[in-house]
Amino acid sequence: MTDLEKLLAIEEIRQLRPKYFRVIDAKEFDQLEELFTPDAWFDSQDAVKDPIKGQYPGFPIAPISRGREAVVQGIIDGLPPALQSCHMGHTGEIELLSDTTAKGIIPFSDRLLLPGVIATAGYGYYYDEYEKLDGKWRIKSATLKRKRVIFEDELGNGVAL
């Protein structure tokens, strides 16, 4: 790759996570498929787990989804209609590994509200692998790692786990 091609690739990859976050927060799930490769996998086991306080009681451990269809369905399952989610992708690190492969570490925070069930303010990273397929960069694998989860009531006040 030339330097110019590298920059074009990084710029295209950089916009994948913001689009992902926007689409899932808007529950426009029909736009998800094109963001992933057919063989994509998503390890979301850390999604509702605090590194210190542990798994939130009463919640199932989020899955490792294998294959694009399972990945998309796993995301839909994790975002029920009543959940109001705000995901924010912060400035991260993207590294090209070849003409068609790259990896990224994308810090994010999210603030979730599922009235009557759970509310959280969370911090973590997406450890991503990307692949260029059919002329477009897509997410090939994603591993979510939590740094912290603050459990809240519906007004946004911290509550004990």
Interacting residues with a copy of itself (CB under 8 A): 3-4, 7-8, 10-11, 14-15, 17-19, 21-22, 25, 51-52, 84, 86, 88-94, 105-107, 109, 111, 113, 121, 123, 125, 147-148, 150-153, 155-160
Least distance between a copy of itself and beta carbon 52 (Å): 6
Number of neighbouring beta carbons within 10 Å of residue 111: 16
**CB closer to a copy of itself out of 60 and 115:** 115
Least distance between a copy of itself and beta carbon 71 (Å): 21
Token pair in block for residue 15: 């916009």
**CB closer to a copy of itself out of 60 and 158:** 158
**CB closer to a copy of itself out of 76 and 88:** 88
Least distance between a copy of itself and beta carbon 25 (Å): 6
Q: What is the DSSP letter of 110?
A: E
Least distance between a copy of itself and beta carbon 70 (Å): 26
Least distance between a copy of itself and beta carbon 157 (Å): 5
Tell me how many helices (H) and strands (E) the chain has. 3, 9
Token pair in block for residue 26: 């808007």
Which residues face 137 on adjacent strands? Answer: 132
**CB closer to a copy of itself out of 41 and 151:** 151
Q: Which of 81, 150, 148, 154 is nearest to 113 (CA)?
A: 154
- The Cα 46–Cα 31 span in angstroms is 24
- The Cα 63–Cα 71 span in angstroms is 9
Question: Which element (helix H / strand E) includes 156?
Answer: none
**CB closer to a copy of itself out of 16 and 72:** 16
